[in-house]
């Protein structure tokens, strides 16, 4: 009986060795050995769980105004752990919803830029010739325009439509930031595509009768996902900071919704008399940005073939 079990184990081990480890399996193992990245993922996951559960269970609503508790410093009385703002709203509840809104802006706007940038760059790189020249010169022209100016212009034009509609304004922020953040993504994907289209597996697909669209979708895009994923994790904090800047100039999230940028702006106006209104949102934003940066660094080290 024991020899049979040993033979089965040896057969399983041999089969696993024959299959080998895929690129993503190897990258996952390398990523999990990066302590900074793992701790950052755990902290970010904890923030998300605390924010979601806290908004459901916390006794104070982020929109509720209490005129009798204006500018209360952090205290356990009435569970104002982070204190209250200049209008008497609980700062912990405001920070929780602000974190979720800022994270949503960062993730969704990055996904918009990812979709546009990957499609544009892969098409330009694989098509080549005049198509590539036209598409990339278009990117260069858009690059020459001030990034912030484009976002401000898009939001200012739609300001009358979004007045009094905070969720519609949030959707437009997603589209505005993501609609101009894809430029670098497209250049990265184009560069990778120019290399991949000369590989044997692409030539084999062409010889096999695959269409250009099938080659881009099945062969090019899956093989550029490594650098794209790394750049995506590093883009999210950039987008969060961009939204914070928009909040500082009055084009960010509308009340009663808020974001970490909006809270920091409000806190900066009262930092001398109510420093907690600035310290807590700023601390959460700093921790969030650090987590994404460490995760991005960890992914870059895990996927980089030169480090293997």
Tens digits of residue pLDDT in 101-148: 999 989 988 898 888 998 899 889 888 889 999 999 999 888 887 777
Burial of 234 (0-12, 13-18, 19+ CB in 10 A): middle
- C-alpha to C-alpha distance for 155 and 172, rounded to whole angstroms: 7
Token pair, residue 292, equals 């994404």
- Helix, coil or strand: residue 142: helix
* Rounded Cα distance, 9 and 15, in Å: 10
**Higher-confidence residue: 136 or 210?**
136
Average pLDDT over residues 269-297: 91
Contact 256, 274 (CB under 8 A): no
- What is the spatial distance between Cα 242 and Cα 240, in angstroms, rounded to a whole number? 5
- pLDDT range class, residue 210, cuts 50, 70, 90: confident
DSSP letter assigned to residue 219: I
CA-wise closest residue to 298 among 109, 29, 103, 102:
29
pLDDT at 99: 94
Under CATH, which number does the domain 34-307 receive?
Answer: 1.10.3720.10
- In tens, the pLDDT along 51-97 reads 999 999 999 999 888 888 888 899 888 888 999 988 889 999 999 99
Domain segments of the chain as ranges: 1-27, 34-307
Element (H, E) at 57: helix 35-57
Q: Which two tokens stand for residue 33?
A: 């050995």
- What local confidence, expressed as pLDDT, does residue 23 receive? 59
pLDDT at 306 over 50: no
pTM for the whole structure: 0.82
User: What average pLDDT does the structure give for the chain?
Assistant: 82
- Is the model's pLDDT at 278 over the cut of 70? yes
Q: Where is 295: in which H helix or E strand?
A: helix 276-303
For residue 208, give both structure tokens.
């096999």
Q: Which residue has the higher pLDDT, 255 or 276?
A: 276
Q: Above 50 in pLDDT, residue 18?
A: no
Residue 288 contacts residue 278 (beta carbons within 8 Å): no
3-class DSSP assignment, residue 84:
strand
Confidence of residue 33 (pLDDT cuts 50, 70, 90): confident
Chain-centroid distance of CA 202 in Å reads 31
Tokens for 244, please give them: 């914070």
pLDDT of residue 20 exceeding 60: no
Sole residue written with tokens 């080549």: 128
CB 210 within 8 A of CB 175: no
Handedness of CA 68, 74, 80, 84 (dihedral sign): positive
Whole-angstrom Cα distance, residue 187 to residue 193?
Answer: 10
**Residues 211, 171 contacting (CB under 8 angstroms):** no
| Of the candidates 61, 84, 107, 103, the residue with the CA atom closest to the CA atom of residue 259 | 103
Which position has the higher pLDDT, 7 or 122? 122
């Amino acid at each position: 009986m024991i020899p049979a079990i040993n033979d089965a184990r040896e057969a399983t081990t041999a089969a696993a060795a024959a299959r080998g480890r895929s690129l993503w399996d190897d990258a996952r193992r390398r990523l999990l050995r990066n302590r900074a990245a793992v701790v950052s993922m755990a902290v970010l996951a904890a923030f998300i769980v605390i924010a979601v559960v806290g908004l459901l269970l916390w006794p104070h609503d982020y929109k509720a105004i209490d005129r009798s508790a204006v500018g209360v410093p952090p205290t356990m009385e009435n569970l104002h752990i982070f204190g209250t703002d200049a209008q008497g709203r609980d700062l912990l509840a405001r920070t929780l919803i602000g974190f979720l809104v800022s994270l949503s802006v960062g993730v969704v706007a990055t996904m918009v830029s990812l979709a546009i940038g990957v499609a544009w760059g892969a098409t330009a790189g694989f098509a080549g010739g005049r198509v590539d020249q036209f598409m990339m010169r278009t990117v260069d022209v858009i690059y020459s325009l001030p990034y912030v100016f484009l976002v401000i212009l898009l939001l200012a034009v739609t300001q009358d439509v979004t007045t009094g509609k905070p969720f519609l304004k949030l959707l437009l922020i997603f589209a505005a930031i993501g609609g101009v953040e894809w430029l670098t993504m497209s250049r990265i994907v184009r560069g990778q595509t120019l290399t991949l289209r000369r590989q044997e597996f692409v030539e084999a697909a062409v010889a096999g009768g695959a269409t250009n669209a099938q080659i881009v979708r099945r062969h090019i895009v899956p093989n550029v996902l490594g650098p794209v994923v790394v750049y995506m994790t590093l883009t999210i904090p950039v987008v969060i900071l961009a939204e914070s800047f928009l909040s500082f100039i009055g084009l960010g999230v509308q009340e009663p919704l808020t974001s970490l940028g909006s809270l920091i702006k409000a806190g900066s106006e009262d930092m001398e008399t109510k420093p907690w209104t600035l310290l807590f949102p700023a601390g959460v934003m700093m921790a969030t940005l650090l987590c994404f940066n460490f995760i991005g660094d960890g992914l870059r080290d895990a996927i980089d073939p030169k480090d293997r």
